[in-house]
Structure 1
Amino acid sequence: MSKGPVSNFIQHHYRHFNAAALMDAAKAYEAHLLEGGKMMVTLAGAMSTAELGLSLAEMIRQDKIHIISCTGANLEEDVMNLVAHKHYKRVPNYRDLTPQDEWDLLENHYNRVTDTCIPEEEAFRRLQSHLVKQWKEAEAKGERYFPHEYLYKIILSGELEQYYEIDPKDSWIVAAAEKNLPIVCPGWEDSTTGNIFASYVIKGELQASTVKTGIEYMVYLTEWYRANSGGKGVGFFQIGGGIAGDFPICVVPMMYQDLGWEDVPFWSYFCQISDSTTSYGSYSGAVPNEKITWGKLDIHTPKFIVESDATIVAPLIFAWVLGW
């Protein structure tokens, strides 16, 4: 593939240290796909609020990503940015805010994520009415769906288009819905929409079973992995740490150790973008080789760790894979 100016810049300048790790990981990602492999991308942190969709959506459209694992926050916040972008507030001097400044943001219905404030009314509440409608309709029919499937239904119905405030080509959830991309969203309860759903359960207006659970996501991932890990296998591209990465990577040792399926291939590529210190006992701060001891990676699995800011690194690696 011929490369564009961003890739050529990376090729020329990124020669040592974390820059070289970025370059090596990008080239290995590309090689993995060219050899017929598939790739899981995991999203932790606030990647959707960071507007990673600007590059992630095109990765999905061009089949450079085959499954995503993400937090509930990343699932919902891409849609919130889609429908309320013009109402977001950026606070470049966020490090200087006093407790009173923070309280004033709350009083004005802004929830801050680093330098970006999400507008509660235009984002959370605008999305809430459409989600509640989907939840109640499904329950009335005796149907149950995963969290991402409810969002797919709303996106594909077109009912949110009246609110769009960015080009939908820059929304990774729109790209994923159009592809019906497999998603696992462990710990969805730890999100604003998860909290909203819980409130309706507490009020007796919905049954908890109307939204499928994390255990069901693991079963779903097991089936997907079994069907897609032949040949070159499935790679694992982890952005940040936390449950978005910890949950799906365990599917391999679970099948091998707990189910006794000895023909399960290891993950065939691994890269993590992380700023977690190696290591204060944290899983996010563990070097990739530690995963060998847990039956997740093979001795020969290509392994990379880029210790840097994911909002800088991920778009550059995606740019290389896309040939930009």
Structure 2
Amino acid sequence: MTDAPINDTRKAELLSTVVEHIDITSFDARPIIDAMGKMSFTSRDLARATRIYNDMLADPDCTVFLVIAGSTSAGGCMDAYAELLRNNMVDAVVATGATIVDMDFFEGLGHKHYQALEVPDDDTLRSLYIDRIYDTYIDEEQLQDCDFTINKIANALPPGPYSSRAFIREMGKYLAEHGKKENSLVKLAYEHDVPIFCPAFVDSSAGFGLVKHQVDCMKAGRPYMMIDAVADFRELTDIKIKAGTSGLLMIGGGVPKNFIQDTVVCAEILGHEDVEVHKYAVQITVADVRDGACSSSTLQEAASWGKVNTGIEQMVFAEAGSVLPLLASDAYHRGHWKTRAKRAWGKLFA
């Protein structure tokens, strides 16, 4: 931390308006989605994507993977994701470390994200220890509490390798015992045996806490715990093999998108030649398809790799925070989740 004193009054002014997460149960988006289905452009794409997600939930054989990249959790969609998990509308989660640690676990500890009602220069924000995500603020001092809590959890575990799923389960257990927010995805996942995978786990606030854990243990001559990224891939592929039919609800792209799609190829390499490609797939993204990046690669392109069914997929090129609440609210109110069998894939690794 900088030695210069922080202007607490100015900091309080900038961190005065909390981001309020949208409640998808408080409004019924079905009439809007139905109307959008009669339109064109992104509106019709969203309506079709919503129908596909409802088809996933209505298919008794389908395991639904929620795949998240980007900052929608910080921007107001955090409770929407939690509600999907709470109501058995997703069976496993693959996400960035930032989504799970810096955003959800962070708020689970009682901290908040704030609306940036004004954006002074970022050097000023740095002097006040305020981190910025576009027009959203985070108190860096609170984020460091997240780092140290991760370190505390790591220090309490027996040394050895852990998949990100196994460690995130320990985070959920911690929140169940000490957390300050009921609607935490990490906490609810622990309580409902829904596994969460972060294939780039240390690329987040968790990385700082885990590095400190290893360095302190090395200095003391003690063994330490570590994140086993290969175990992540193996465990997630194991779920795909046992699940059979599967569907993807993808927000953003990046590593989580590629990671969940690659389970099909990995299963084949392990000798499961009869593994199904992901039957259903929806992706909401603003990434541009022209640069060849994974975040923007179309689901049709993924079919060429043997990962996704070409028939039941939909790309939605839109900022997810503006359309995900409509999709999620529609699916919640159509109610297919009420008769879904609970997968509880987390018990696979008990």
TM category, shorter = 0.7 to 0.9
Structure 1, 8-17 or 35-44: larger mean CA deviation: 8-17
Contact 1:131 1:150 in 2 (8 A): no
Partner of 1:201: 214
> Among 242, 252, 256, which residue is 2:264 paired with?
252
Secondary structure at the counterpart of residue 194 of structure 1: helix
Are positions 1:179 and 2:192 aligned together? yes
Q: 1:221 to 1:154 in 2, by over 3 A?
A: same
Give the direction of change, closer, same or farther, for the CA distance of 1:126–1:4 in structure 2 (3 Å limit). closer
Q: Distance in 2 between matches of 1:282 and 1:53?
A: 26
- The 8 Å contact of residues 172 and 188 in structure 2, kept in 1 or not, is answered as no
Structure 1 portions without partners, runs of 5+? none
Query: CA shift at 1:144, angstroms?
Result: 4.2
Aligned residues: 302
Query: Residues 92 and 205 (structure 1 numbering): CA distance in 2 closer, same or farther, change over 3 Å?
Result: farther
1:1-324 mapped onto 2 (5 Å cutoff): 5-14=28-37, 15-36=39-60, 37-76=62-101, 77-86=103-112, 88-94=113-119, 97=120, 101-122=121-142, 124-139=143-158, 144=162, 146=164, 147-156=167-176, 158-160=177-179, 164=180, 168-169=182-183, 171-203=184-216, 204=218, 210-229=225-244, 233-256=245-268, 258-300=269-311, 302-323=312-333
Q: Deviations over 1:87-107 (max 9, x none)?
A: x4421343xx4xxx2122122
Give the superposed CA RMSD. Answer: 2.3
Letter in 2 for 1:102: D
**Distance in 2 of aligned mates of 1:50 and 1:209:** 35
Shift of 1:173: 2.1
2:303 is aligned with what amino acid?
I
Distance of 2:144 and 2:259 partners within structure 1: 29
Q: Which amino acid aligns with 1:247?
A: F
TM-score by length of 1: 0.86
Residues 278, 286 of structure 1: 8 Å contact kept: yes
Tell me by how many angstroms 1:145 deviates: 5.6
The whole-number CA distance in structure 2 between the counterparts of 1:42 and 1:20 is 22
1:144–1:209 contact (8 Å) kept in structure 2: no
Q: Partners of 1:119 and 1:28 in 2: how far apart?
A: 38
**1:118-141: CA deviation from partner (whole Å, max 9, x where unpaired):** 11222x23333432222112136x
In structure 1, what is the Cα distance between the partners aligned to 2:319 and 2:233?
A: 29
Pair 1:110–1:221, CA change in 2 (3 A): same
Q: CA deviation at 1:307?
A: 0.2
In the TM superposition, residue 209 of structure 1 has moved relative to its aligned partner by 5.9
